[in-house]
Amino acid sequence: MIDVEAFRRDGYAVLRQVIDPAHLRPFISVLERRVDTLAPGLADRHGLAHTHPDEPFERRLARLHDGHPLDNREWDPVLFCEQFRDLIVRPELTGALVPLLGEEITYQGNAHLRPYLPRHLDSLPWHQDAQFYGAGTEHLLWQMVQVWLPLVDVDADSGCLVLVPGSHRWGLLDGAVPGTDNVTRSSLNRQDAIYRRTAARVAFEPMTMVPMRRGDMLVFTNLLAHTGTENRRDLVRWSIDMRFEATAGSRPATDLERHGYSVMHQRIHGRGYVPLRVRGAAGPQSWHSWRQARAATRPAAATA
């Protein structure tokens, strides 16, 4: 059970063995099948003699890339499938968020799947997620959470997250997208400004590494400064990071929070993300209804 007082003080909570790793299996099987489909092309492109069919999930993609880089955003579309939907509506996952978000919870439709390959040395630099969502979303501090879920065990040598406890109390560091354009993908200059500004702010702060096992769940606020670490192991660091909100209108919100919702939803709809109700009086939304909602959504205006 999440300690709400500690969460509000530290800006994050690590929940151990919330999900039985067996429940990650159906989604991992989807990934394994996708790797299998990609295998001949990757072997061909990288001049490999075979497709390493006997390598385990933790290693096969690394063998197939054989030191060649991978753009993890190419994997994000896999997060729209029935097995992923079934994972994120699981009562033990959504129930863990109830003390923070209440009984009505929506997945915002924006997640990243990150298969970080061995010797992935350019981990995502320091940032607060709200810097990317746009100025105004900092007011959603207690109305939304980020959830980071490892699909393999992770530690300091394989790319676990590092964070600065309490950094959410600094407020929004500048570098956030100004005005209303939080839909278009940030320019490299803006990304660089965000990373530099945040790195400078965290430089002399105590940091905490968060090693995790499959089945653990890290929950953090949209203002917590965090980064990934290098993956030096001979394994792929598979993880999913995703965002959930207290379903808009389901509980009282201040004017600033309502403004935060409106900026956030502008981004979500502008980018073509398709939210999914994962918990509530009406029960979680079905796969069928989520798929229909996506079919009715215009193509994303921007990605990543």
Ligand X SMILES: O=C(O)CCC(=O)C(=O)O
CB of 52 to ligand X, least distance (A): 25
CB of 146 to ligand X, least distance (A): 6
Task: Please list every residue from 148 through 167 that binds ligand X, using CB under 6 A.
Answer: 148, 161
Q: Of 239, 247, 250, 285, which lies in the binding site for ligand X, with binding defined by CB under 6 A?
A: 239
Which listed range, 74-82, 122-130, 205-213, 293-301, lies at the site for ligand X (CB under 6 A)? 122-130
Strands (E), 117-236: 144-150, 161-163, 208-210, 217-220, 226-228
CB of 204 to ligand X, least distance (A): 21
110 is an interface residue for ligand X by CB under 6 A: no
CB of 15 to ligand X, least distance (A): 16
Task: Name the residue nearer to ligand X (CB basis): 120 or 277.
Answer: 120
Name the residue number minimizing CB distance to ligand X.
228
Pattern of binders to ligand X over 191-230, x per CB under 6 A? -----------------------------------x-x--
Q: CA–CA separation, 126 vs 201, rounded Å?
A: 10
CA-closest candidate to residue 205, choices 167, 169, 176, 233 = 167
241 is an interface residue for ligand X by CB under 6 A: yes
Residue 151 contacts residue 28 (beta carbons within 8 Å): yes
Q: CA–CA separation, 32 vs 167, rounded Å?
A: 37
Task: Name the residue nearer to ligand X (CB basis): 142 or 195.
Answer: 195
Close Cβ partners of 87 (under 8 Å, ≥ 6 residues apart) = 19, 23, 24, 26, 27, 93
H or E element that contains 261: helix 255-270
Q: CA–CA separation, 47 vs 40, rounded Å?
A: 10
Scored b (16 or more CB within 10 A) or e, 189-201 reads ebbebbbebbeeb
Q: Of 25, 32, 83, 123, which lies in the binding site for ligand X, with binding defined by CB under 6 A?
A: 123
Q: What DSSP state is assigned to residue 4?
A: H
Task: Name the residue nearer to ligand X (CB basis): 102 or 125.
Answer: 125
Q: Of 58, 104, 129, 257, which lies in the binding site for ligand X, with binding defined by CB under 6 A?
A: 129
Cα-flanking dihedrals φ and ψ of residue 4, to 5°?
-65, -40
244 is an interface residue for ligand X by CB under 6 A: no
Positions touching ligand X (CB under 6 A) are 114, 123-124, 129, 146, 148, 161, 226, 228, 239, 241
